[in-house]
Amino acid sequence: MADFLYGINPIREAFRGGGRKPLELLVVSGERNYRLDGLVALAKQQQLKFNFCERRELDRLAGHTQHQGALLKLTPFDYTDLATLLRAWRTGGKTAFFLLLDGITDPHNFGAILRSAEVSGCLGVIVAKDRSCPVTSVVEKTAAGALAHLSLCQVTNLSRAIDELKRAGIWCYGLAGDEEARDLYSADLKGDIALVVGREGKGLRPNIRKHCDGLLAIPMPGQVDSLNASVATGVALFEVVRQSRMAAS
């Protein structure tokens, strides 16, 4: 069964990226503007089928009214596997930079995390098959086109995936907000790195913590002692970026 992607910017990125194959563009009829015309032009360039539909039909297909007048029909989402992800890293000549998610279930958080991961140059995101949010239209809209450029890997056992990364020479650090964790900004995050982020409100599961090489905490001098999962992930990702840029300069 095909999926629908909604929103002008995510659809534009889907045309540009190498992710899921577009099947058909649906555009609201009678409400043309330059942004919608731009999508139609892209469809023509790629010789993709496009049709004009009544707004109520787009509402029905999307399940809501926030589609901005356009839907892109896509092939079902196809996760990559861990072996393929690691092979692409080894042959690509880049420093390893991966993100593992332990039980992120909120689609808005998941989409925001994927967006931060792609923008920060992460080579891939690894999620568990169970206890994880699936890729939905809400996730893709929130990710703002990131999945058109970012590899998403699904594994049966996240702790075994961490062990495989470690065997490949990649240091795996979990984000945690307790006394066992080291200050994020004092840790050496240069070289081959993977960050592991836990679920909203509960953090990393005990078994996942045990498999990490170390735990990192974001210093919080304010009165509130926690961050939204997507915000915390963004902070940690870009600390890796900052350190890698300093090492290269």
Domain boundary among 32, 51, 74: 74
Give the range of the structural domain holding residue 109, as residue numbers without chain letter.
82-248
Domain boundary among 28, 46, 74: 74
Regarding whether 39 and 66 lie in a shared domain, the answer is yes
Regarding whether 106 and 228 lie in a shared domain, the answer is yes
Task: Give the pTM.
Answer: 0.81
Regarding beta strands 70-74 and 3-6, do their DSSP bridges make them parallel or antiparallel, or are they unpaired? antiparallel
Tell me how many domains the chain contains. 2
CATH number of the domain to which 66 belongs: 3.30.1330.30
Q: Which residues, at least 6 apart from 166, have a Cβ–Cβ distance to it below 8 Å?
A: 172, 211, 213
- Residue 213: the pLDDT is 96
Mean pLDDT taken over the chain: 90
| Residue 213 CB-density burial (10 A; 0-12 exposed, 13-18 middle, 19+ buried) | middle
Regarding whether 231 and 112 lie in a shared domain, the answer is yes
Regarding whether 140 and 88 lie in a shared domain, the answer is yes
> 249 vs 183, which has greater pLDDT?
183
Regarding whether 108 and 47 lie in a shared domain, the answer is no
- Residue 1: the pLDDT is 46
Regarding whether 51 and 111 lie in a shared domain, the answer is no
Q: What is the pLDDT of residues 131-188, one digit of tens each?
A: 888 888 788 888 888 888 899 999 999 999 999 999 999 999 999 877 788 999 999 9
Domain boundary among 74, 95, 128: 74
Regarding whether 144 and 30 lie in a shared domain, the answer is no
Regarding whether 110 and 57 lie in a shared domain, the answer is no
Regarding whether 28 and 129 lie in a shared domain, the answer is no
Regarding whether 182 and 100 lie in a shared domain, the answer is yes
